[in-house]
């Protein structure tokens, strides 16, 4: 996760998200639904620049746990879809992207380091 208020920017923008994106040639793809002050970024795409030709999708969400030490991860299917969609996006094979979405009105789920 990126705390976008923790940095100083030279790029212009209407808020910290725009400044972050403009400064780093990036696009914030995801953040927490309850965050409304443009303060954090959870998933970011970094576009190619002169010295680095590839794209990067960086996932800073702490809830991305593939295999917990104990028990079963009830969200593993969502993690697998996110991973498949990310790889498909990076390779530009859009036929692999799934259409499954969760309603924004679905109840929030909270996890700690133990799951």
**DSSP structure string for 68-112:** -SSS--TTHHHHHHHHHHHHHHHHT-GGG-------TTSPP----
Q: Are residues 52 and 4 in the same domain?
A: yes
Q: Are residues 14 and 53 in the same domain?
A: yes
Q: Are residues 49 and 75 in the same domain?
A: no
pTM value?
0.69
| More confidently predicted of 60 and 57 | 57
Give residue 105's pLDDT. Answer: 63
Q: Are residues 45 and 91 in the same domain?
A: no
* Paired sense of beta strands 56-59 and 2-3, if any: unpaired
Q: Are residues 40 and 67 in the same domain?
A: no
- The per-residue pLDDT for range 2-48, each reduced to its tens digit, is 888 888 889 999 889 999 999 999 999 888 777 777 788 889 999 98
By residue range, what is the domain housing residue 70? 62-115
């Amino acid at each position: 996760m990126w705390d976008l208020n923790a940095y100083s920017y030279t790029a212009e923008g209407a808020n910290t998200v725009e400044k972050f994106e403009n400064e780093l040639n990036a696009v914030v793809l995801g953040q927490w639904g309850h965050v409304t002050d443009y303060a954090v970024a959870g998933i970011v795409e970094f576009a190619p620049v002169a010295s680095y030709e590839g794209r990067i999708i960086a996932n800073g969400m702490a809830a991305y746990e593939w295999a917990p030490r104990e028990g079963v991860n009830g969200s593993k299917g969502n993690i697998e879809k996110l991973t498949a969609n990310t790889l498909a996006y990076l390779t530009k094979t859009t036929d692999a992207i799934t259409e499954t979405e969760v309603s924004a009105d679905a109840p929030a789920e909270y996890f700690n380091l133990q799951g």
